[in-house]
Chain A
Amino acid sequence: MAHLLNSSFTPTPTTTLRRPHHPLTAPTTRRPTQIHAKIREIFMPALSSTMTEGKIVSWIKSEGDKLSKGESVVVVESDKADMDVETFYDGYLAAIMVEEGGVAAVGSAIALLAESEDEIAQAVYKAKNQSASAPAPAQASASAPEPAQASAPATAPAQTLAPALASAPARVASAHPASEGGKRVVASPYAKKLAKELNVDLGLVVGSGPMGRVVAKDVEAAAVAAALAVAEPGKAVAEPVKPDGVELGSVVPFTTMQGAVSRNMVESLAVPTFRVGYTITTDALDALYKKIKPKGVTMTALLAKATALALAKHPVVNSSCRDGKSFTYNSNINVAVAVAIDGGLITPVLQNADKVDIYSLSRKWKELVDKARAKQLQPHEYTTGTFTLSNLGMFGVDRFDAILPPGTGAIMAVGASEPTVVATKDGRIGMKTQMQVNVTADHRVIYGADLAQFLQTLAKIIEDPKDLTF
């Protein structure tokens, strides 16, 4: 659509406002100097005299596509109509800076065009830099003297959120009969759309629909689980939130993802969780730890191992409720452990923690933590947990309460192990090292007695930890 019409009853004669093609690429003089000459910016064109900003309806081309002069690249919605916008140069669409649905001021950069394939990477780098340095979302009314700076509100948050979103801890191979052991994903059309929007890997979402199909609420739950992990208290202690980028006194609307989180937070109230606490004496565990620490065994591995052995005796605590109608008993005991990392929180998973020996488990744990710090964890390494451990003991927290990640049955909050004055059965007063644990569970599948028995078993294992080393 290369032209617009005036309304028929305006005082002026009803003529067609014919516009030739809208030059997408700015004249050389407007190009910021730091951009290499062969990487051109694609600007939001002015499609009508009254247009101040435009919404990207859809990108016709994807990043990396070759463009030739005159080809339609993007569909822009102005105040009057949707228009296909063409490029005036040959080249490659190197980086999209304003995603579909995003709004950009007229004249601001919405994408980068590289002249040759070699320059794509360079352009992508530029785009990232610009996105990162973009302060708040672009002001619509800005006449954009510095188009590069005023642009791209959408990409930056999306990128930083991606890893966090993918880290939802509640994952088991889909039970759908068509999934062929998880190789195929069976997800409803809306679930697929949402997954794309919320950046959720469908392969890792447990389906609660008919025949185990992934439906929209599963995707939303997965997105929330990830967001919850980020929101857990550990982060605030480990890494105080920097106040930069937040304008005090302002009201900032939710992004799509935050909207989904908000919806699901409310929805999660529908899951009937309850909490059971227990105090466990850790003298024996501490002694064991001291003994085998030189062999590379970590306290986290010991706790995970103890939990896994207890879970093996109480499979119901390792189960989950996916559809409100049934127990899903997981075949493996995969203990996810929350770890604060730079810029967030992730839940690396110790798979088959009940079967793997403590030394291998410790090595595995070290490897996972290293990978997590380097942000190299593979999805199956942080998404397949069936039970979650969250330990804030190292900060001196003596007890806390965790929110149940959707898709799992229970999460255990572990407090600090501290010397405590206790009365013993023989009437004496003594000193023991004790820690408090607090389990949050879904009461639809896990009942109070189940948790009590599980905790009792766990306490026995920890208080007499010989089984931990086989």
Chain B
Amino acid sequence: MHSSISLSLSSSSPITVRSYGGATSNSSASDLFLRNTSAPTQLRFCGLRREAFTGCKSSSNAPLLKQLRHNSTISASLNGNGTPSKGFDYDLVIIGAGVGGHGAALHAVEKGLKTAIIEGDVVGGTCVNRGCVPSKALLAVSGRMRELQNEHHMKSFGLQVAAAGYDRQGVADHAENLATKIRNNLTNSMKSLGVDILTGVGTVVGPQKVKYGKVGGTETVITAKDIIIATGSVPFVPKGVEVDGKTVITSDHALKLETVPEWIVIVGSGYIGLEFSDVYTALGSEVTFVEALDQLMPGFDPEIGKLAQRVLINPRKIDYHTGVFATKITPAKDGKPVIIELIDAKTKEPKDTLEVDAALIATGRAPFTQGLGLENVNVETQRGFIPVDERMRVIDSKGELVPHLYCIGDANGKMMLAHAASAQGISVVEQVSGKDHVLNHLSIPAACFTHPEISMVGLTEPQAREKAEKEGFEIGIAKTSFKANTKALAENEGEGIAKLIYRPDNGEILGVHIFGMHAADLIHEASNAIALGTRIQDIKYAVHAHPTLSEVIDELFKSAKVKNDVSSAVAEPVAV
């Protein structure tokens, strides 16, 4: 079990890195390794954490890692959970054992804090159980199906494959097994470090005081010096939509893959919807997207979205309705199909009625913050989200900070990505252990695991143009194509582009967007550069192995035209 953890951590493998992202959607995942998105010191912790995870005490790497350490408290972390401050049961109590809570807990132990984590459901939260992790298993299947079904593609390799088929239950089991495995890994990693896993629903009863327990059962009150709320989110189901879990479903149900409908409507064309369209079409379904905005794939850089549509939508058995709301969705019953009523998003006039075999609601995710006892500390949620400042400190109804109370992840709505939650958790632990820390959200990458993948970090072109106009600087755009990359051509996967948005005056990277093979793994060179403040004029001299896909990014940096070719100071992190 441990060795598999170390594997998943030591590479940003698609199993663990993940993201359902964008302003409204989320759920996902990640991976603890993505924490290197903040400050340089954080990077070193990552290496350490890997050691802690595997329980590898005699590794030959240990001396090296020790040299990297800045801070002597780390060595304490390896000895297990710390002892609490005077007068408190714990130094840190985290409500919610998803990826955010898990990341915070591990880091807290490293910092020598006595830590407890409260979970009312299963360890791992949305990402591991109902999000990025099982969806990666389904996408791994769909990617292979797609390849095997593409006779032309196979022929161009000189391969001959008989008709590819699949066993639905086998595919579903793969997803379920993966989730179980990762969930156990997560649980064990916390147990082995001595984090107390408390079972039950956690409620804030007052400052620095939390109770937990089974609903209707005995409840225990514990005190903590600091509290982190990390309760995550649930699928958002719009008004008028009746979810029956069989024919009208959310991602929670879809990941179990109990059926593969002939024709499924996917409401919402963000990350979740796109990934499921990839899975369903590979398994033989036909898909209709219903998107409220005028364009499919809102939230992506428009140019990337356009190309993605050309590759991921148009040639597949997919059609779409844009600029419409699904006002009423009735599940199939009494021999009638699923009925979806559409109205025009602007005029509100009835537009169309669809009759299909199933509907997947992928309209984003809603924060799960009910029953947290927020009224006990005078906090009012905003559309369900818990208001926080740039340091994840909770803000009460009077606009003042609630001392010792933090909220990370989907529950605060800043950036609904699993690895963002984890990074926020680490940032909070840094603060409560005495070091000020602000997370640069613009350096957090996001990825969509379609075939091929889409990934991005920083600003989109329109966002960058708006910022440039406001702040009076120019922007430059550089693009490279996968068609010019040797490795991509060897794989017969030349479809794709990478796009860099930058400041020609000082070489700052504003955003990078990639659409193409393994885009999700390629983005980290750019996100790390943004996190560390590396400028184009510096990174362009870095060497990339040939032939690799990473040369697409290498080319990107080399093709940028920076006017002032002098290295400059590292930019300050930007809070969102």
Name A's B-contacting residues (CB within 8 A): 1, 3-9, 14, 16, 57-58, 75, 79-82, 176-178, 184, 186, 188-190, 192-193, 209-211, 213, 215
Contact = CB atoms under 8 A, between A and B. Distances in A.
A213 B355 CA distance: 9
A81 B486 contact: no
A6 B484 contact: yes
Interface string B304-317: 00010010001001
Interface stretch (B30-38, B58-66, B172-180, B551-559): B551-559
Given A58-B310, A189-B286, A209-B262, A1 B481 contact: yes
10 contacts: A6-B484, A7-B485, A8-B486, A8-B551, A14-B558, A58-B314, A81-B484, A188-B263, A210-B337, A213-B355
A58 B307 CA distance: 11
Most buried by B among A6, A176, A189: A189
B555 A210 contact: no
Q: Which 4 A-B pairs have the closest CB atoms?
A: A189-B319, A190-B317, A81-B481, A16-B559
A57 B311 CA distance: 10
Interface string B546-576: 1100010011001100000000000000000
A7 B318 CA distance: 34
B331 to A, nearest CB: 15
Interface string B346-364: 0000000101010000000
Contacts of B314: 58
Contact of B479 (A3, A58, A80): A3
Interface in B494-539: 497
Contacts of B189: none
Given A6-B484, A210-B262, 11 more contacts: A5-B484, A8-B546, A9-B486, A14-B558, A16-B478, A80-B483, A186-B355, A188-B263, A189-B318, A211-B337, A213-B263
Contacts of A213: 263, 355
Contact of B555 (A14, A188, A209): A14
A263 to B, nearest CB: 14
| Size range of the chain B interface in the assembly | 20 to 34
A9 B547 contact: yes
B547 A81 contact: no
Nearest to A191: B286
Given A190-B286, A193-B317, A7 B559 contact: no
Contacts of B319: 189, 192-193
B484 to A, nearest CB: 5
A260 to B, nearest CB: 15
A302 B139 CA distance: 63
B251 interface: no
A80 B555 contact: no
B288 interface: yes
A80 B355 contact: no
A189 B353 CA distance: 14
A237 B550 CA distance: 65
Nearest to A180: B353
B285 to A, nearest CB: 10
Contact of A188 (B286, B481, B484): B286
A18 to B, nearest CB: 9
A1 B479 contact: yes
Contacts of B559: 3, 5, 16
Contacts of A58: 310, 314
A393 B192 CA distance: 91
Nearest to B315: A193
Nearest to B336: A177
A8 B288 contact: no
Nearest to B307: A82
A81 B483 contact: yes
B161 to A, nearest CB: 20
B355 A176 contact: yes
Interface in B300-349: 307, 310, 314, 317-319, 336-337, 339
A261 to B, nearest CB: 20
B94 interface: no
B223 interface: no
B480 interface: yes
Contacts of A7: 484-486
B262 A188 contact: yes
A16 B546 CA distance: 18
Nearest to B561: A16
A211 B479 contact: no
Nearest to B481: A81
Interface string B463-501: 000000000000000111101111000000000010000
A5 B481 contact: yes
Contact of B546 (A1, A4, A9, A192): A9
Contact of A211 (B355, B546, B547): B355
A192 B316 CA distance: 12
Contacts of B307: 82
Contacts of B555: 5, 8, 14
B116 interface: no
A80 B481 contact: yes
B35 to A, nearest CB: 31
Nearest to B479: A1
B355 A8 contact: no
B538 to A, nearest CB: 18
B105 interface: no
Contacts of B317: 188-190, 193
A4 B481 contact: yes
A178 B262 contact: no
A82 B311 CA distance: 11
Nearest to B548: A8
Most buried by A among B478, B544, B555: B555
Nearest to B320: A189
Contacts of B485: 7-8
A193 B355 CA distance: 18
A75 B310 contact: yes
Nearest to B495: A82
B236 to A, nearest CB: 25
Given A1-B481, A5-B481, A7-B486, A189 B546 contact: no
B287 interface: yes
A81 B288 CA distance: 29
A8 B555 CA distance: 7
Of A8, A186, A210, A213, most B-chain CB atoms within 10 Å: A8
Interface centre among B318, B339, B484, B497 (most CB of A within 10 A): B484
B355 A178 contact: yes
B554 A8 contact: yes
Nearest to B556: A5
A14 B554 CA distance: 11
Interface centre among B286, B497, B547, B555 (most CB of A within 10 A): B286
Nearest to A100: B314
A4 B484 contact: yes
Nearest to A79: B483
Contacts of B551: 8
Given A1-B497, A7-B484, A189 B287 contact: yes
A74 to B, nearest CB: 13
A211 B336 CA distance: 8
Contacts of A75: 310
A50 to B, nearest CB: 12
A254 B485 CA distance: 33
Interface string B175-194: 00000000000000000000
Contact of A210 (B353, B357, B481): B357
Contacts of B546: 8-9
A337 to B, nearest CB: 35
B548 to A, nearest CB: 10
A266 to B, nearest CB: 16
A460 B145 CA distance: 60
**By CB atoms of chain A within 10 A, which of B288, B481, B551 has the most?**
B481
A407 B263 CA distance: 22
A192 B287 CA distance: 12
A253 to B, nearest CB: 14
A188 B355 CA distance: 10
B118 to A, nearest CB: 45
